[in-house]
């Protein structure tokens, strides 16, 4: 009886996984098909008649006057700077919150937790005006906005992990002459590696694929990330080359999917450590 239940569960989970992966497979298949066949034979495999080879990739990367490689560079810059800033600042804030037991720290912690349940749509108009007035509309300055939105989850996870670190280790470092800054970077920060990896992976997946925040904040005529670049693959009268669009979507998705597959073990370990030890 137990064996039958196990088999049924595996079948059900297999069907669910297939449903989830079907859109990705559809994108991968249509990236190599001509535009006409993308519309009429969406789920059919490419054949001698419908196959476009790598023409869709070339067309998508050379479409218009805005180079795709430039968009890819902006995506890399925004993602690297944003994730680096989130990991550094939120880990320091979480360490202070966990070690200083005061009303102010508890208020800050609960505000960070509360920020995770606030929909982005509630603040996006005000955010876009504030970002323009503060000139945060470039790839080098938009990370400041991402730090604000990514701080909630990061502080929550880091705080839970720091509470599980024995205070005696930091006291020993203090006796040896380490100040607060040196204690954090030489003792605490290396011990945060599991949570650093998991938070970093989650933030990379979010920021790399984000469309709404960059399109609201950045000057899209001068700075375009990959999701914005894909949105502007339009010809005359608003026509869209679906084959080229699918090709660029595949190019943008594959690095993140591969990165996630190799790092999912660290995500589970980091989330578990941050939740249980809190």
Percent of all residues in the chain with a pLDDT value above 70, rounded to a whole number: 93
Name the more confident of 6 and 75: 75
Does 29 lie in the same domain as 76? no
Q: What is the mean pLDDT of the chain?
A: 85
Q: Are 164 and 198 contained in the same domain? A: yes
pLDDT of res. 11: 87
Residues 51 and 74 in one domain: no
Residue 79 sits in the same domain as residue 202: yes
Report how many domains make up the chain.
Answer: 2
Return the DSSP state at 138: S
**Does residue 266 have a pLDDT over 70?**
no
Backbone angles phi, psi at 33, to 5 degrees: -120, 155
Q: What is the pLDDT of residue 118?
A: 83
Residues 124 and 34 in one domain: no
Indicate whether 198 and 72 sit together in one domain.
Answer: yes
- Residue 19 shares a structural domain with residue 84: no
What's the domain range around 115? Answer: 67-276
Residue 278 is predicted with a pLDDT of 44
Residues 51 and 83 in one domain: no
Residue 102: what are its φ and ψ, rounded to 5°?
-140, 165
Looking at the fold, whether 172 and 200 belong to one and the same domain comes out as yes
Position 269 pLDDT exceeds 70: no
- Each residue's pLDDT tens digit, 217-243: 998 888 999 999 888 887 655 677 788
Q: With contact defined as beta carbons under 8 Å apart, do 196 and 273 qualify? A: no
pLDDT tens digit sequence for 134-188? 888 899 999 999 998 888 889 998 998 888 888 888 888 888 888 888 989 988 9
- Residue bearing the bigger pLDDT, 121 or 209: 209
- Same-domain pairing of 35 and 73: no
pLDDT band at 277 (very low <50, low <70, confident <90, very high): very low
Non-local (6+) Cβ contacts of 147 within 8 A are 82, 85, 86, 89, 90
Which residues are CB-contacts of 143 (< 8 A; sequence separation ≥ 6)?
78, 81, 82, 84, 85
The C-alpha atoms of residue 162 and residue 164 are separated, in whole angstroms, by 5
Longest CA–CA separation in the chain, Å: 75
Q: Residues 28, 72: one domain?
A: no
- 176 secondary structure, DSSP code: T
User: What CATH code is carried by the domain that includes residue 208?
Assistant: 1.10.3720.10
* Of 14-18, 46-50, 82-86, highest mean pLDDT: 82-86
What confidence score (pLDDT) does residue 271 get?
57
Q: What would you report as the CA-atom Rg of the chain, rounded to the nearest whole angstrom?
A: 23
Q: Does 1 score more than 70 pLDDT?
A: no
d(CA 183, CA 189): 9
Alpha helix ranges (H) inside 31-67: 35-40, 55-62
Residues 41 and 138 in one domain: no
For residues 47-58, average pLDDT: 84
């Amino acid at each position: 009886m137990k064996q039958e239940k196990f088999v049924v569960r595996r079948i059900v989970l297999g069907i669910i996984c297939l449903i989830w992966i079907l859109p990705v497979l559809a994108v991968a298949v249509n990236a190599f098909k001509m535009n006409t066949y993308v519309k009429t034979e969406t789920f059919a495999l490419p054949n001698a008649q419908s196959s476009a080879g790598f023409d869709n990739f070339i067309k998508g990367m050379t479409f218009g006057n805005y180079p795709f490689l430039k968009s890819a560079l902006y995506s890399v810059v925004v993602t690297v700077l944003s994730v680096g800033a989130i990991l550094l600042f939120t880990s320091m804030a979480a360490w202070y919150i966990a070690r200083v037991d005061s009303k102010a720290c508890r208020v800050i912690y609960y505000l960070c937790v509360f920020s995770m349940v606030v929909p982005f749509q509630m603040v996006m108009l005000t955010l876009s005006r504030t970002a323009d007035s503060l000139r945060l509309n470039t790839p080098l300055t938009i990370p400041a906005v991402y730090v604000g939105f990514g701080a909630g989850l990061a502080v929550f996870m880091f705080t839970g992990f720091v509470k599980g670190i024995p205070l005696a280790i930091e006291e020993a470092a203090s006796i040896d002459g380490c100040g607060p800054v040196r204690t954090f970077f030489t003792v605490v920060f290396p011990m945060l590696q599991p949570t650093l990896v998991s938070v970093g992976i989650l933030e990379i997946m979010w920021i790399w694929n984000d469309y709404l925040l960059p399109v609201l904040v950045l000057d899209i005529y001068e700075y375009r990330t990959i999701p914005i670049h894909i949105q502007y693959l339009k010809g005359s009268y608003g026509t869209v080359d679906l084959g080229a669009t699918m090709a660029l979507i595949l190019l943008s998705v594959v690095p993140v999917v591969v990165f996630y597959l190799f790092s999912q073990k660290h995500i589970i370990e980091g989330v578990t450590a941050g939740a249980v030890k809190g």
